[in-house]
Structure 1
């Protein structure tokens, strides 16, 4: 498709349009197989993301059993996917159908870039916030249970969205309005910003998130081992009749100098907080959610930052397009993961679908 400039290889954060293919291309008609496939795939993807994540939000709002601290973050993550399907994917699919040529205004392109960066960053920051919340729940359970009203979770969710907006703000503040900008190419124009946004949105939070999850599940295994040991310690030591109960002395009258015996001193017990079973079940789903996110988005960010750091590296346009689609597919996967791996979500989803069909 011709030589690729640094900005072309860097593309926009979603890797779409001419940023995915280098130089301008002629608009493609729907008669072309690629355009028809992009339209069909885009409509299917948008519909799946909207239906699945709407069902997640409605289920958590309507079912009290799902209103747990972890699921507050699940709703926030679903909200980011819903906004992506409403604000980003339609224009992305439109650009793909047109062969990667941007036919709309540069201002709309900048808004699209900013929303794309913000929502992708919000997704990974929400996963990081979940990892922080779960780590605190396992490492400091007593303090966590005393503050279980949801305030901490709402504060973390608010922080994730504010930080995500801060990462995307430079695009709306004129960073993308470069001199000699090609109006037919919708992309991030500043190579340094490509590196900055990739590091902030992916390469910095991902190792931190994985480290926190490792510490969380290690602590959870220790907690469960201590719980099993405690239950085994309470079990009877062996068969045999119970000791005879104390009764009054013969004759039924106590001696005058008899003093009631003081109850035996109970050994001091360390107070241990319980991690609710529902929370433990929710935590088992999270590795699947995180794993799916990493599988879907790691190829894109590797290709994305490679193009920014190595302008002379040849990155095939089809590879950029493929990893971009793969990243967006992640927005449709989470509701499927909840259905497969979480029995409570599965039950509520079935109930909601039955009510919807009535």
Structure 2
């Protein structure tokens, strides 16, 4: 199946199959460059994240680190698995070649990583919600066993529900998309299964994230108004809730909603969207793997401080003379802090969410 570019109806009618293939071939190097750049950004961003959270970070509990490692693993799969695998397939496949076993496996891996990322984001929002609204029960509700079970569910359930995609001549067809340069399921060949996937993956995860983050934002807003009336703290205290929760949800829906809408459109109507629109909506969720590094990690003050120390230590190891000339040694001596001096477990949820309610330390972000 070959997508048409964004041309008028009369122009499309005058285009032959050869002309469309030439246009797609002309766009292929541009698309490969964009995909390669995106994969490099995701990989480098998550390498930085892993280097920091592999050691203790002030204010982050054991459970938070488990969830964050799970999110980093899912995001890293975008750069280390999805991007190179699809690039190899796009370079190896010809436009005249149809679906094969490899294409089914690649489509299965794509959908699995995408789904795992959404489930992981939902579990993080759930953990944050419990840490803030049930602080006294947090330790009993979010035990180490339950935390690991939630993470295991986020990684094991998607492959189970998506397994039919991996079988050639199964319940749903798979095609190599010359528009997005990936192997995609043809959702119109099994409308019921396609809608079932969105009902079990996108909509539940979106509901959990929206409910949890909206409740957190409203609670933080009420607390901010209350403190302002009571003249507690500085009146110019930054609006931490809007600075953290709003971007997180905006990025989530911006990255994932167009892709899900396209899946439903293809499943119900049987039609494909234009070439570049398909390319953008298919690869837009992958960019969430890089943006998560910013909104879930870099925005946290403790993470930035720990990353700076690790980076300066690396500079001192690789090029000590240049690092000393830039003053890295002085920064390290004045920037060391006690990693064991962390907040209580209930107040060390992801991104120090409890500060959204207590507003006790406006430097937690």
Same fold flag (TM > 0.5): yes
**2:250 is the counterpart of 1:291:** yes
Contact 1:80 1:122 in 2 (8 A): yes
Partner Cα separation in structure 2 for residue 53 and residue 322 of structure 1: 22
Q: Distance in 2 between matches of 1:102 and 1:72?
A: 45
- Distance in 1 (alpha carbons) for counterparts of 2:157 and 2:300: 30
Q: Does 1:177 align with 2:135?
A: no
Residue matched to 1:344: 302
Aligned-pair CA distance for 1:353: 2.6
2:44 to 32, 36, 51: 51
Which structure 2 segments of 5+ residues have no match? 5-16, 178-182, 233-239, 319-365
Q: Equivalent residue for 1:214?
A: 214
The one-character-per-residue Cα deviations of 1:112-146 (angstroms, maximum 9, x if unpaired) are 11111111111111111112212222222111145
* Larger Rg over CA atoms: 1
How many residue pairs get matched? 289
Contact 2:107 2:165 in 1 (8 A): yes
User: Is the Cα–Cα contact under 8 Å of residues 338 and 346 in structure 1 kept in the other structure?
Assistant: no
1:323 to 281, 285, 299: 281
The structural deviation recorded for 1:340 is 4.7
Assess if the C-alpha contact under 8 Å between 2:115 and 2:201 holds in 1. Answer: yes
Q: Please name the residue that 1:354 is paired with.
A: 312
Instruction: Tell me, yes or no, if the aligned pair for 2:165 and 2:174 is still in contact at 8 Å.
Output: no
Q: Is the Cα–Cα contact under 8 Å of residues 114 and 171 in structure 1 kept in the other structure?
A: yes
Of 244, 259, 267, which aligns to 1:308? 267
Q: Give the TM-score normalised by the residue count of structure 1.
A: 0.67
User: How far off is 1:59 after superposition?
Assistant: 0.8
User: Which residue does 1:122 correspond to in 2?
Assistant: 116
Q: TM-score, normalised by structure 2?
A: 0.66
How far off its partner does 1:93 sit? 2.8
What does residue 259 of structure 1 align with?
none
Distance of 1:326 and 1:133 partners within structure 2: 26
- Structure 1 distance, partners of 2:18, 2:75, is 30
Distance in 1 of aligned mates of 2:94 and 2:220: 48
Measure, in 2, the Cα distance between the counterparts of 1:300 and 1:180: 18
Residue 158 of structure 2 aligns to a residue in which SS?
helix
Please say if residues 57 and 75 of structure 1, whose CA atoms lie closer than 8 Å, have aligned partners that are also in contact. Answer: yes
**1:142 alignment partner, SS class:** coil
Preserved CA contact (<8 Å) 1:70 1:282: no
Contact residue 41 and residue 290 of structure 2 kept, 8 A? yes
Q: Trace 1:174-213 onto structure 2 (pairs within 5 A).
A: 174=167, 176-178=168-170, 186-189=183-186, 190-192=189-191, 193-213=193-213
- Residue pair 2:258, 2:281 contacting (<8 A) in 1 also: yes
Question: Residue 295 of structure 1: CA displacement?
Answer: 0.8
| 1:24-173 pair list within 5 angstroms | 33-65=26-58, 67-68=60-61, 69-96=63-90, 101=95, 106-146=100-140, 150-172=144-166
5+ residue gaps, structure 1, are 5-22, 233-280
Distance 1:98 1:300, change over 3 A: farther
- Give the Cα–Cα distance (whole angstroms) in 2 for the partners of residues 183 and 353 of structure 1: 44
**CA distance, structure 2, for counterparts of residue 38 and residue 197 of structure 1:** 28
* Cα distance in 2, alignment partners of residues 138 and 306 from structure 1: 38
Q: Supply the distance in 2 between the matched residues of 1:114 and 1:294 (Cα, whole angstroms).
A: 23
Deviation larger for 90-99 or 116-125: 90-99
Task: Summarize the Cα distance change of 1:210–1:60 in structure 2 as closer, same or farther, 3 Å threshold.
Answer: same
Aligned-partner Cα distance in 2 for 1:324–1:124: 15
